[in-house]
Amino acid sequence: MHDMGTTLILWAAILGAIAAGSMILGAIVGITTPMSNGTVGAMAGFGAGALISALAIELVAPTVEALSHADVAERSVEISHFITLLVAMIGGGLIFLFLDQMLSAHGGYLRKGAYVIAQHTKNKNKRQVDVMQSIGSSSFFNSMAPDVMHELVKLLHPKFLVEDENLFNIGDASNELYIVRSGSVRLAHGDGTGHSAERGDLIGEVSFLANQAHSTTAVAEHGPAELLVLHKSQYESFARAYPEFAASVRDMASQRIAENKHQVDQATLAKQEWADLAIEALRSNGTTIPSATELSSMKEEHNNAGMAIWLGNLLDVIPESFVIGTVMLSIVAAKSATGMELSFFDVMPLTLVGALFLSNFPEALSASVNMKSQGFSTSKIILLWAVLTVICAVGAAFGAYVGESIPHSAMIVVEGIAAGAMLTMIGSAMLPEAAHLSTPNMAGFSTLIGFVCAVGFKLLE
């Protein structure tokens, strides 16, 4: 086999390039002709099933089979190999989790829709606690039941103002209810009168509930201010679920109107008429203006997220590429023992390479869309995936090169670590991604089909 050393390394590199080549195809498709989420999810499930099958057959089954067929003299050695494989797989999973957490902290989680959801939930939970602490002691919220306030905070999204920046002007439509989280906002009437809203105060509640244009101008004073925004459609849904909250808002609005009316000079008829209209609207509870949907700003938190996405996929590819070379060598050893002359197709681990090809396509497709949203040019994205393909080829060649020189027991450790890392990646990323983008049933069935197809590849080897 040493005479064929260079040829085997070259073959392994070609196999690595084939397995990773679908990344370039996925990137091109993702950028130019995005597929539906359901299709991408089904493909992710298919790839996950194929990978599970390939790992079970190519990396785990040989050691298990050797143990089951070992005689009394060999059994202790094979038990040792089996335990080594299990420990190495756990170690590989832990290594993957550690490195994945490092990358996720810099935006690498954006490469997977399921990761984005998990990170968003984590960030949102922390933000909800901070918001409740910052406004919970105000006069309006301190009497609110904790469960009601907790549900309310889930709907709020932040809005920031710099000093002297207007939130709204007199005559602007009132489609949102504002709560001051920090800073101070000055509310001024046309005649110059007004008041300041501090932390925990509501802004624009009268106009909001009355479905009237704003009667004041709101501007940040004494520095920047952060507001919490509740859209009208969200308010209406929340008010139906928690009538006590709606009653509190109406009471505050009525109190504000009464204060305004007390300050109104009899000559300012326009303001008096506006207040009467507002009170009438409050009594009728009629508000039907739709609101915009809440927008996520997670990607803006990481200026280097594009590269983190790419590095995250590199983390996924490294163990994949290495095992291509080692598995190919095991096929070479088995078939060389029969004395047959080997060709490239004779030593191709079709189950593994095919599974990796099918799984890498949707992974690159969805990740490329995220990289595009980070401002990466099309040429740069394709170049990065091409580089990743080359790295996969080199990794496979390295696996074949090292595989010739290290003992079988050490190879079990290497393959166990790779299998553990890959299985952890499948469970933490590919399967959740499939269920998120498609449906749980479709994700489950496509995973089954991928598993069956990968097993079927054995017929062609």
44 falls within a domain = yes
Burial letters 307-327, b for 16+ CB under 10 A, else e: bbbbbbbbbbbbbbbbbbbbb
Residues 6+ apart with CB under 8 A from 61: none
Residue 297 in any domain: the answer is no
Output the furthest CA–CA distance in the chain (Å, rounded): 109
On whether both 259 and 309 belong to a single domain, the answer is no
What is the model's pLDDT at position 259?
60
- Residue type (1 letter), 411: M
* 274, HSE (Cβ side, Cα atoms, 13 Å): 20
Residues 217 and 313 in one domain: no
Write down the residue that tokens 């002709």 correspond to: 33
Same domain, 274 and 162: yes
Give yes or no: residues 161 and 231 share one domain: yes
132 part of a folded domain: no
Residue 133 located in a structural domain: no
Q: What's the CA angle centered on 58, arms 56 and 59, to 5 degrees?
A: 70
Cα 237 from Cα 234, distance rounded (Å):
5
Q: Name which of 53, 54, 46, 81 is nearest 67 in CA terms.
A: 81
Residue 267 phi/psi, 5° resolution?
A: -80, -20
Report the run of H or E that residue 167 belongs to, with start and end: strand 166-168
Alpha helices in 348-377 (DSSP H): 350-373
- The radius of gyration of the chain from alpha carbons, rounded to an integer in Å, stands at 31
In a domain, 300, yes or no: no
**Distances, alpha carbon 252 to alpha carbons 193, 257, 344, in Å:** 19, 9, 79
CA dihedral of 142, 144, 147, 149, whole degrees rounded to 10: -70
Whether residue 102 is found in the same domain as residue 159: no
Same domain flag for 280 and 341: no
How many domains, in total, are found in the chain?
2
Domain boundary among 284, 316, 338: 284
Closest CA relative to residue 310, chosen from 108, 53, 45, 142: 108
The 8-class DSSP code of residue 108 comes to: G
Question: What pLDDT was estimated at residue 273?
Answer: 54
**Tokens 């197809």 found at:** 453
**Does 151 lie in the same domain as 20?**
no
Are residues 280 and 318 located together in one domain of the fold? Answer: no
DSSP letters for 272-305: HHHHHHHHHHHHHT------PPPPP-GGGG-TTH
Measured distance CA(248)–CA(448) in Å, rounded: 53
Identify the CATH number of the domain in which residue 170 sits.
2.60.120.10
What is the structure's pLDDT at 105? 59
pTM value is: 0.56
Q: Which residues are within 8 A (CB) of 6 and not within 5 positions of it... i.e. 6 or more apart? A: none
Same domain, 157 and 252: yes
Q: Decide if 291 is inside a domain.
A: no
Per-residue pLDDT of the chain (461 residues; tens, 9 = 90+): 445 678 889 999 999 999 999 999 989 988 888 677 778 788 888 888 988 988 888 889 889 998 998 888 889 999 999 999 999 999 988 988 887 777 665 554 444 555 544 554 455 555 555 555 556 555 556 666 777 777 777 777 777 777 788 888 888 888 888 888 778 888 888 777 777 888 777 787 777 777 778 888 888 888 888 888 888 887 788 878 878 777 777 777 666 666 655 554 444 545 555 445 544 444 444 433 333 333 344 444 444 445 666 776 777 788 888 889 888 888 887 787 777 788 888 888 888 888 888 888 877 887 787 677 667 888 988 998 999 999 999 999 998 888 777 788 888 888 888 889 888 888 877 788 788 777 888 989 999 998 998 888 777 76
* Residue ending a domain, choose from 284, 316, 342: 284
Residues 315 and 230 grouped into a single domain: no
Question: Is 440 contained in some domain?
Answer: yes
Residue 299 belongs to a domain: no
- What is the token pair recorded at 439? 């449906």
Clarify whether residues 317 and 433 are in a common domain: yes
What one-letter code names the amino acid at 226?
E
**For the residues of 173-230, what is the DSSP string, one character each?**
---EEEEEEEEEEEEE-TTS-EEEE-TT-EESHHHHHHT---SSEEEEEEEEEEEEEE
Burial (CB count <10 Å: 0-12, 13-18, 19+), residue 370:
buried
How far apart are alpha carbons 250 and 95 in whole angstroms? 55
Residues 47 and 159 in one domain: no
Domain range holding 267? 138-284
The H or E element spanning position 166 is strand 166-168
pLDDT at position 129 is: 58
Q: Say what the pLDDT of residue 342 is.
A: 82
